[in-house]
Copies of this chain bind each other. A is one copy, B any other.
Amino acid sequence: MAAPPWDELVSGVVERRPRAVARLITMVESREPGWQEAMRALYPRTGDARVVGITGPPGAGKSTLTNQVSRTLVAQGRRVGIIAVDPSSPFSGGALLGDRIRMRDILTAPGVFIRSMATRGSLGGLSQAARDVARILDAAGYDDVLIETVGVGQDEVDVVRAADLVIVVCVPGQGDAVQILKAGIMEIADIFVVNKADHPGAHELTMEIASMLELARLDACDDTPASCHVPALDADLNGDEAVWRVDVVETCAVSGEGIPRLVDAITEQFAEPAAAKASAHARAREEILALVDAELAGVARRRLAASLPEAAAHVAKMETDPYSAAEQLLAELGIQ
């Protein structure tokens, strides 16, 4: 069956037909020719959805939390799109069954759209792909888009930075709070959730996070610019009017305890004079560069399709080094 033309899919999305949404996402995700035109056509319809990133270590209960938050939002009469980002294997590529099974109870809920995204093959970067999918859901009238990632690597940090608001889920007993710092997510969190709050050590973890936030705030007050690693935190010290608000919320996702408070925190943060707007320029810059890089990488792969295998063979046989091989291919592309 031939794919329907782009404009048909775009209309389908605007008319909120889930089937069209699913198909357009697939085609945009795989960068089929014409995807940019579709995104351009949808762009004026975007900007209304609240895009929320949810990240945290494996086993923190992110899927369950995402389900509970969605349920609460749906009960408020909102339509919710969920993007489950799976750092799937570079070999197998696919999204895993586990999430889908756990997602199933909400899959059938009206007004909920769930989509899995795999890491692999996203030449344009997973972050850009998440951004595109969030925009399609936005244009399809979903009021909230939840981007849920697995893990807390740099990749996940990039993905959730595509969101307007970031929730970092922690659980007691997964190493101390220093691990959170190590993961480099301290600075991107707008809300910390201490999940499994009924487990031992939960309250201590909440306290630890609170004091880390306090330390970061003090750091930001320091005169030395190098130590201002949370630039937007308490930003009024820098002459800015916005104050970076960070909430810490204890939840028990399985029982649903704490979820209403979390949803309130989300709503309140979005209601505040948007600190997000302040970074609109930086985010636009980042996105444009990501799109440019992806296109350049694609062009390079197409134009070097003939010469790359030979170059790789030379390097594999140690007849040349990879640096010289790359330089030669760049010369072939006419770049210096």
Instruction: Give min CB distance, A277 to chain B, whole Å.
Output: 9
Interface segment, A4-12, A206-214, A247-255, A311-319?
Answer: A311-319
Do residues A154 and B119 form an inter-chain contact, with CB atoms below 8 A?
Answer: yes
Residues of the B chain whose Cβ atoms lie less than 8 Å from the Cβ of A280: 316
Interface segment, A234-242, A257-265, A325-333?
Answer: A325-333
A289: which of B285, B301, B324 is its contact (CB, 8 Å)?
A: B301
A98: which of B153, B158, B182, B188 is its contact (CB, 8 Å)?
A: B182
Number of interface residues of A (CB under 8 A): 85
- Supposing A58-B174, A155-B154, A182-B98 touch, asked if A296 and B300 sit within 8 A by C-beta, the answer is yes
- Supposing A187-B91, A315-B287 touch, asked if A58 and B152 sit within 8 A by C-beta, the answer is yes
Check if A92 is an interface residue, CB within 8 A of chain B. yes
Residues of the B chain whose Cβ atoms lie less than 8 Å from the Cβ of A173: 173
Check if A178 is an interface residue, CB within 8 A of chain B. yes
Residues of the B chain whose Cβ atoms lie less than 8 Å from the Cβ of A47: 318
Do residues A293 and B300 form an inter-chain contact, with CB atoms below 8 A?
Answer: yes
Check if A243 is an interface residue, CB within 8 A of chain B. no
Specify the chain B residue showing the minimal Cβ separation from A95. B182
Do residues A304 and B292 form an inter-chain contact, with CB atoms below 8 A?
Answer: yes
A326: which of B96, B288, B311 is its contact (CB, 8 Å)?
A: B288
**Chain A residues close to B by CB (< 8 Å):** 36, 39-40, 43, 47, 57-59, 86-92, 96, 98-99, 119, 126, 150-158, 161, 173-176, 178-179, 181-188, 229-231, 280-285, 287-289, 291-293, 295-297, 299-301, 304, 308-309, 311-313, 315-316, 318, 321-327, 329-330, 333, 335
Ranked 4 nearest A-B pairs via Cβ? A153-B153, A59-B175, A92-B229, A291-B326
